[in-house]
């Protein structure tokens, strides 16, 4: 799914310059320097939602789609360039059921929080200066650095168990990890203050335990806790024998990751001129009439 998302955004990005060129030629936007040229800095609030897809040891059965919700800030500090900060709540899931590793019979779900900061590059350095200028379409790419929580859980006998505390592979892993997010999208500005964006992205993580599966089996003989033994090896639930210690459980050579596809709403909080002073987009200038003495 990650390649499909990025390819879709790339296709939109290739088409949107054509749309933008037609729009700007029609409105004469680029020729009119009084609009937008003094708005070198701006601050926008974003909120959005979409879908996620996990990539790891438990995604052999096609794509399992989950949800993500986010809020963030876009700070434009130079032509084409913006700082992008975002916090998200998202869900992931994966299972062996129905896949080539059905004998392993593992599964997980997770509800995680994510935060990151990154740099965004827009293809065109334009702002919608006032209503009536028409829709502005602007493709962009971005990359950053952030973190995500790692909180996999599963269900056994109708009871939910959070897997990290059970050390199913006899490994103590962190409840958070660094991520490298990157993506591309298209922004649609429909007025001076309001816009939308469609964005596809992928997150590389530094953990192989988003799904609680990475290395080898501990072996039931080495586990004294009955619940822990059942969570570590769920093969017996599908009439498979317990694995011996050291048997392959996951692929430690590939870290886990996840893809997102989101639709976001953008609201301009305040623009700033090139001198760093606030500039009201709806300000009205009043001129004083000269006093004529009679």
How confident is the model at residue 191, as a pLDDT? 85
Token readout for 190 is: 């429909």
Confidence of residue 293 (pLDDT cuts 50, 70, 90): low
How confident is the model at residue 135, as a pLDDT? 77
Does the pLDDT value for residue 268 go beyond 80? yes
Does the pLDDT value for residue 199 go beyond 60? yes
Residue with the two structure tokens 């530094």? 206
How confident is the model at residue 192, as a pLDDT? 81
Instruction: Say if residues 256 and 209 touch (Cβ distance below 8 Å).
Output: yes
Does the pLDDT value for residue 120 go beyond 90? yes
Using CA atoms, how far residue 11 sits from 15, 123, 186, 189, 265, in Å, is 6, 14, 10, 19, 21
Residue pLDDT, tens place only, 20-73: 444 444 443 333 343 344 456 899 999 999 999 999 999 887 678 999 999 999
Number of H helices and number of E strands within the chain?
2, 10
Over residues 164-176, mean pLDDT: 97
How confident is the model at residue 280, as a pLDDT? 54
Using CA atoms, how far residue 242 sits from 223, 233, 234, in Å, is 12, 7, 8
Give the C-alpha separation, 268 to 43, whole Å. 6
Over residues 239-258, mean pLDDT: 95
Confidence of residue 289 (pLDDT cuts 50, 70, 90): low
How confident is the model at residue 125, as a pLDDT? 82
Give residue limits of the domains in the chain.
2-214+247-272
2-214+247-272: what fold? Porin (2.40.160)
Using CA atoms, how far residue 20 sits from 15, 23, 117, 259, in Å, is 9, 5, 28, 28
How confident is the model at residue 60, as a pLDDT? 80
Over residues 255-266, mean pLDDT: 98
SS3 state of residue 258: strand
Among 202, 291, 204, smallest CA distance to 256 is for 204
Q: What is the DSSP code (8-state) at residue 3?
A: H
Over residues 225-239, mean pLDDT: 96
| DSSP secondary structure letters along 224-264 | --HHHHHHH--GGGGT-PPPPTT-B-S-TTS--EEEEEEEE
Among 44, 68, 49, 107, smallest CA distance to 203 is for 68
SS3 state of residue 30: coil
């Amino acid at each position: 799914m990650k390649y499909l998302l990025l390819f879709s955004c790339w296709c939109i990005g290739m088409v949107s310059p054509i749309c933008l060129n037609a729009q700007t030629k029609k409105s004469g936007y680029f020729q009119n320097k009084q609009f937008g040229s003094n708005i070198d800095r701006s601050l926008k609030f974003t909120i959005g939602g979409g879908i996620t897809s996990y990539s790891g040891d438990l995604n052999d059965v096609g794509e399992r789609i989950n949800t993500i919700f986010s809020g963030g800030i876009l700070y434009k500090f130079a032509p084409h360039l913006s700082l992008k900060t975002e916090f998200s709540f998202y869900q992931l899931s994966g299972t062996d059921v129905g896949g080539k590793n059905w004998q392993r019979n593992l599964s997980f779900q997770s509800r995680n929080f994510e935060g990151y900061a990154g740099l965004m590059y827009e293809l065109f350095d334009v702002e919608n200066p006032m209503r009536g200028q028409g829709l502005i379409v602007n493709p962009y790419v971005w990359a950053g650095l952030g973190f995500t929580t790692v909180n996999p859980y599963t269900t056994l006998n109708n009871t939910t168990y959070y897997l990290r505390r059970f050390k199913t592979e006899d490994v103590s892993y962190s409840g958070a990890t660094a991520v490298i997010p990157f993506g591309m999208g298209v922004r649609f500005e429909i007025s001076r203050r309001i816009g939308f964006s469609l964005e596809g992205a992928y997150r590389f993580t530094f953990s192989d335990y988003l799904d609680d599966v990475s290395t080898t089996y501990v072996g039931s003989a080495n586990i004294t806790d009955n619940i822990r033994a059942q969570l570590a090896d769920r093969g017996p639930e599908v009439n498979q024998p317990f694995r011996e210690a050291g048997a392959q459980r996951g692929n430690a050579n590939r870290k886990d990751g996840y893809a997102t596809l989101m639709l976001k709403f953008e609201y301009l909080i305040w623009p700033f001129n090139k001198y760093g002073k606030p500039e009201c987009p709806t300000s009205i200038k009043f001129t004083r009439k000269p006093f004529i003495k009679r």
